A and B are shown apart, each in its own frame.
Chain A
Amino acid sequence: MFPNLAFNLQAAQVLELWIGAFLTLMIFSFLYKDNPFYKFAEHLFVGVSAAYWMVQAFWSTLIPNLFGKLYPPMVEPFLPEIAGNEADFFKLIPLVFGIFLLMRLVPPWAVVARLAMGLVIGFAAGTNLTRYLQSDFISQIDHTLLPLIAFDDAGFSLRETIKNLMVVSGVVAGLIYFFFSAEHKGLFGKASRYGIWVLMVSFGAAFGYTVMARISLLTGRMNFLGDWLTHMFSGNLPT
């Protein structure tokens, strides 16, 4: 039994390697020009992704979090450990609202989907509002209020002072650039000009990071194709 299993695992790994390599080459073919191979790989990716997300959500959320709590014996074949738990009938509420959402597919009943959608939007807006206010607004303002003359254990710190000056002046100048109720001239105009420079530097950094990300992904694919070529010529599989 075990040798067969090992053989099957190896065969599956080889198949995975070859399918992955061909799909990678199909996607790369777009760099030359659009073609049916690229289109095929693209559509396959979209379809497989959608199916994967659906299956994952079903087995990791609907089964343990809904059916496993609503009627635990139902999940005994898959999750025997929670099959003996007590039923939690409060889960009927998300079940009903979940069914309401699906009613969008039945035109005469589509209006009830709005109830579920309203709940989702209301919950998301309420939760996000408080957390965004705290983490992205108040905390960010708090952490921008830095001392313009900084000291550390050894006394005056020039490095920290310069850093703090850059952060504070950058934020203030950036805000001035987006302040349109006063004409951008004189000292105000110079601050606005500094603000656009700060923005340009941040855009440049973001672009540099994006280039790095794309090259990293290309390196990953090249490593994969290297594994495939190694297997093709030597029979060795990647570890």
Chain B
Amino acid sequence: MLQKLGALDRRIIFVLIALAVIIPLAVGLVFPVATTPIVQNIFDSIEALPPGSKVLLTADYGPSTEPENQPMLEAVARHCLEKDLRLYVASIWATGPPMIEQMIGKVIRADFPDLVEGEDWCNLGFKAGNQGVINSAYSDFHNAFPTDARGQAAANIPMLAEVLRLENFDHIVAIGSGFPGVKEWVQFGGDPAGVPTAGGVTAVEAPLLYPYYPAQLLGLMGGLQGAAEYEAALVKAYPKYTESSRQAIKNMGPQTVAHLVIIAFIVIGNLAYFSSERAKPKLGVKS
């Protein structure tokens, strides 16, 4: 029996994983999410900023990692604007602008319609050049971002008047999914400029970023779980966002069930392996 399970057609596993995701989504299965210190630190540092502080929020990812990164971007943006911070959104990924536009529609236009673009928030759009853009922004921010996403000159954007160098920001929150991303914002932005930097990355990338915590990264949101933890902290502090800021929390239901299925298959696979090993004739033993 166990040996048969060991030779299970992989397509059956695919179907079971699909069901493990679809059924919890269909029935709306949600588990409580507790915020761990590594994410709570980001929330607390933004919470502690005085109104009017300048926060640079970057969206260095694309649609392929949207389920993990987008809830982070939206939750952090919502938190910053709720705290009356000035929000500067930018991207060094060409696929970032649609993600930013989506956030603007869901967060700024929906929850903060009275805020004025250019005074309370601005969308600096995408700039090509990878870490070169960050390096340039470190010494001359207007040179790196001469216009915003709509083509308006940086000199004509009121909230950019006080931002001449990267060090003029009070906080950087980099949301990314690869190169260039959070690591480059630490190396070329946060570290040399001395600006407190936090990150949000896909789960694949999270283990590579842990060594920077807590000295070079004050906090890290790792994958969907990290996003859900930030949403949980936000909802706990501001219950009015219980409905609008729970995308990652909702998606953690299927995640948990799928993990249980995968753990079950790992156990079954190991049992099948040891069972087949035991059944093999031992070398050197005459039958």
Q: Which residues of A contact B (CB under 8 A)?
A: 31-32, 52-53, 56-57, 60-61, 64-65, 68-69, 78-79, 81-82, 85, 123-124, 127-128, 131-132, 134-136, 139-140, 142-143, 202, 205-206, 209-213, 215-220, 222-223, 226
Docked complex Cα distance between A218 and B262 (Å): 14
Task: Report whether A82 and B126 are in contact in the complex, using a CB–CB cutoff of 8 Å.
Answer: no
- Majority DSSP secondary structure for residues of B touching A: helix
In chain A, what residue has the closest Cβ to B190? A135
Of B40-48, B49-57, B65-73, the stretch lying at the interface with chain A is B65-73
> Which of B68, B97, B223, B225 makes the CB contact (< 8 A) with A56?
B97
Task: Report whether B191 and A210 are in contact in the complex, using a CB–CB cutoff of 8 Å.
Answer: no
Known: A60-B126, A209-B222. A81 touches B147 (CB 8 A): yes
CB-CB < 8 A to A205: which residues of B? 207
CB-CB < 8 A to B125: which residues of A? 60
> Which of A81, A82, A213 makes the CB contact (< 8 A) with B68?
A213
Task: Report whether A52 and B94 are in contact in the complex, using a CB–CB cutoff of 8 Å.
Answer: yes
29 A-B pairs in the complex with CB atoms less than 8 angstroms apart = A52-B95, A60-B94, A60-B128, A64-B146, A68-B147, A79-B151, A79-B153, A81-B151, A81-B152, A131-B131, A131-B192, A132-B187, A135-B186, A139-B191, A139-B216, A143-B215, A209-B206, A213-B224, A215-B255, A216-B224, A218-B18, A218-B21, A219-B67, A219-B224, A219-B258, A220-B66, A222-B25, A223-B67, A226-B26
> Which of A65, A123, A131, A215 makes the CB contact (< 8 A) with B21?
A215
CB-CB < 8 A to A31: which residues of B? 11, 14
CB-CB < 8 A to B14: which residues of A? 31
Docked complex Cα distance between A220 and B21 (Å): 10
Contact string against A for B residues 12-48, beta-carbon threshold 8 Å, 1 for contact and 0 otherwise: 0010011001100110000000000000000000000
B225 CB, min distance to chain A CBs, angstroms? 7
B218 within 8 A of A: no
A101 CB, min distance to chain B CBs, angstroms? 14
Docked complex Cα distance between A16 and B258 (Å): 29
In chain A, what residue has the closest Cβ to B177? A213
Known: A57-B94, A81-B156, A82-B147. A222 touches B22 (CB 8 A): yes
B203 within 8 A of A: yes
In chain B, what residue has the closest Cβ to A57? B128
Task: Report whether B67 and A217 are in contact in the complex, using a CB–CB cutoff of 8 Å.
Answer: yes
A228 CB, min distance to chain B CBs, angstroms? 13
B254 within 8 A of A: yes
B132 within 8 A of A: yes
In chain A, what residue has the closest Cβ to B247? A223
Most chain B C-beta atoms within 10 Å of own C-beta, residue among A52, A64, A212: A212
Docked complex Cα distance between A109 and B67 (Å): 47
Q: Which residues of B contact A (CB under 8 A)?
A: 11, 14, 17-18, 21-22, 25-26, 64-68, 94-95, 97, 125-129, 131-132, 135, 146-147, 149, 151-153, 156, 186-188, 191-192, 202-204, 206-207, 211, 215-216, 222-225, 251, 254-255, 258-259, 262
Task: Report whether B254 and A211 are in contact in the complex, using a CB–CB cutoff of 8 Å.
Answer: no
A232 CB, min distance to chain B CBs, angstroms? 16
A24 CB, min distance to chain B CBs, angstroms? 12
CB-CB < 8 A to B95: which residues of A? 52
Task: Report whether B128 and A139 are in contact in the complex, using a CB–CB cutoff of 8 Å.
Answer: no
Docked complex Cα distance between A210 and B223 (Å): 9
Docked complex Cα distance between A132 and B211 (Å): 14
Docked complex Cα distance between A226 and B27 (Å): 12
B206 CB, min distance to chain A CBs, angstroms? 5
> Which of A68, A128, A211 makes the CB contact (< 8 A) with B146?
A68
Task: Report whether A61 and B129 are in contact in the complex, using a CB–CB cutoff of 8 Å.
Answer: yes
A21 CB, min distance to chain B CBs, angstroms? 14
> Which of B64, B126, B152, B188 makes the CB contact (< 8 A) with A131?
B188
Docked complex Cα distance between A123 and B132 (Å): 9
For the A-B complex with A79-B153, A135-B191, A216-B223 known, give 18 more contacts whose Cβ atoms are closer than 8 Å: A64-B146, A64-B151, A68-B146, A68-B147, A81-B156, A132-B187, A134-B192, A142-B215, A211-B262, A212-B203, A215-B255, A216-B202, A219-B25, A220-B66, A220-B68, A222-B18, A223-B25, A223-B251
CB-CB < 8 A to B216: which residues of A? 135, 139, 143
Known: A56-B94, A209-B203. A215 touches B259 (CB 8 A): yes
CB-CB < 8 A to A209: which residues of B? 203-204, 206-207, 222-223
Task: Report whether A64 and B223 are in contact in the complex, using a CB–CB cutoff of 8 Å.
Answer: no
In chain B, what residue has the closest Cβ to A139? B216
Task: Report whether B126 and A56 are in contact in the complex, using a CB–CB cutoff of 8 Å.
Answer: yes
Known: A79-B147, A135-B186. A212 touches B25 (CB 8 A): no
Most chain A C-beta atoms within 10 Å of own C-beta, residue among B22, B94, B206: B94
Task: Report whether A61 and B255 are in contact in the complex, using a CB–CB cutoff of 8 Å.
Answer: no
